[in-house]
């Protein structure tokens, strides 16, 4: 039976005991940040590491949500449970998530083997970059062996969020300059699999060639060159091929300890982000104090240089 409270301890224990009905409230605590999120993190951290996370990113309009919906159906057809973490843009009026074509994922709403969570960024993608790994661990602790993380857009924060996954799939639509835009956005650096969606468009072949040419100029230190898969997600064409490419990448990572090393690097990066956020939080608290006002006056009157003033703030924040 789902726990109705928002107590992070009770919710964590319920989810760890197999109560998926408590999962939405637990994720809300994590998304809210603060001490509640930290308490959840402390309790679920040791229970992670079993789920395989796949990030899907790419420009708006590429068909990521349709592809995600098809992947849900594909996984469920094999009897595997799947959770989806969908990071949405926010409405400038309500601050809520603009679901758009993700509404079709609700076709799976009555399936106990599927869980879909949509997160509104509310303009704070950086904060979500901290929350997403914690939410992935919560979904892992709830027993989902597959987690799909879908992001909107191709900015740095979206790419970082997709990079929280074990395999990152970059979804691109055919069209003039899309291959070049992928290179500019740094997607070539994070992609493990490229999916050209809407491949029934005649321009798909040109985009395919562009991607292959750009990859010809790159090096692959871990021995994996991202495959390029064409799909028409609306009809389901090529979706199984896309998942096969993800599975092949997973086997590649698991074959030589690469998956563990990749996860270790992410753990270090997450620790660094948390430390930076905590230091910034402490420093901001100092900025509101009377001591900071005096430092500002010293800097503006040139009695003190800004670097020394910053050192003073950081010392006080410790």
The sheet carrying 82-88 orders its strands as 114-120, 82-88, 146-151, 52-57, 167-172, 193-196, 228-230
Which pLDDT score is estimated for 8? 92
Euclidean distance between CA atoms 37 and 55, whole angstroms: 22
Which pLDDT score is estimated for 91? 43
Place of tokens 């062996």: 145
Please, which residues have CB within 8 angstroms of residue 199's CB and are 6 or more apart in sequence?
174, 230, 231, 232, 237, 238
Which pLDDT score is estimated for 198? 94
Which pLDDT score is estimated for 95? 43
Euclidean distance between CA atoms 227 and 245, whole angstroms: 7
User: What's the whole-model pTM score?
Assistant: 0.85
Which pLDDT score is estimated for 94? 40
Q: Which residue segments constitute the domains of the chain, with CATH numbers given?
A: 1-47 (no CATH), 48-256 (3.40.50.300), 271-317 (no CATH)
Euclidean distance between CA atoms 64 and 92, whole angstroms: 22
pLDDT tens series, the chain, 318 aa: 556 678 999 999 999 999 999 999 999 998 888 889 889 999 999 888 899 999 998 888 889 999 999 999 999 999 999 999 988 655 444 444 445 445 556 677 788 999 999 876 544 445 566 788 889 999 999 999 999 999 876 666 666 776 789 999 999 999 845 555 555 556 777 889 999 999 999 999 999 998 998 888 888 888 999 999 999 999 999 999 999 999 999 999 999 899 999 999 889 988 888 888 888 878 777 777 777 888 889 999 999 999 998 888 878 766
Euclidean distance between CA atoms 171 and 62, whole angstroms: 6
Euclidean distance between CA atoms 105 and 114, whole angstroms: 10
Render pLDDT for 54-100 as a digit per residue (tens, 0 to 9): 999 888 888 999 999 999 999 999 999 999 998 865 544 444 444 54
């Amino acid at each position: 039976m789902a726990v109705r409270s928002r107590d992070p301890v009770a919710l964590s224990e319920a989810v760890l005991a197999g109560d998926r009905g408590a999962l939405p409230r637990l994720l809300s605590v994590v998304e809210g940040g603060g001490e509640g999120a930290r308490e959840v993190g402390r309790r679920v951290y040791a229970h992670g590491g079993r789920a395989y996370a796949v990030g899907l990113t790419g420009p708006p309009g590429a068909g990521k949500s349709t592809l995600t919906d098809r992947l849900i159906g594909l996984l469920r057809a094999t009897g595997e449970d799947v959770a989806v973490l969908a990071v949405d843009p926010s409405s400038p009026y309500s601050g809520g998530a603009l679901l758009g074509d993700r509404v079709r994922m609700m076709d799976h709403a009555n399936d106990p083997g599927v869980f879909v969570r949509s997160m509104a960024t509310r303009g704070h993608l950086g904060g979500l970059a901290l929350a997403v790994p914690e939410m992935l661990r919560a979904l892992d602790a709830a027993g989902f062996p597959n987690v799909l993380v879908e992001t909107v857009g191709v900015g740095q924060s979206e790419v970082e969020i997709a990079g929280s996954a074990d395999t990152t799939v970059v979804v691109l639509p055919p069209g003039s300059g899309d291959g070049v835009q992928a290179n500019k956005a740094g997607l070539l650096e994070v992609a493990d699999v490229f999916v050209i969606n809407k491949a029934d468009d005649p321009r798909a072949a040109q985009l395919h060639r562009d991607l292959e040419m750009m990859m010809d100029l790159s090096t692959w230190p871990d021995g994996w060159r991202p495959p390029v898969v064409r799909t028409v997600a609306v009809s389901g064409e090529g979706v199984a091929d896309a998942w096969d490419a993800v599975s092949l990448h997973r086997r590649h990572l698991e074959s030589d300890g690469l998956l563990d090393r990749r996860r270790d690097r992410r753990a270090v990066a997450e620790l660094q982000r948390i430390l930076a956020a905590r230091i910034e939080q402490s420093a901001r608290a100092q900025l509101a104090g009377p001591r900071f006002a005096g430092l500002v006056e010293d800097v503006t009157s040139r009695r003190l240089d800004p670097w020394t003033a910053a050192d003073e703030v950081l010392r006080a924040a410790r």
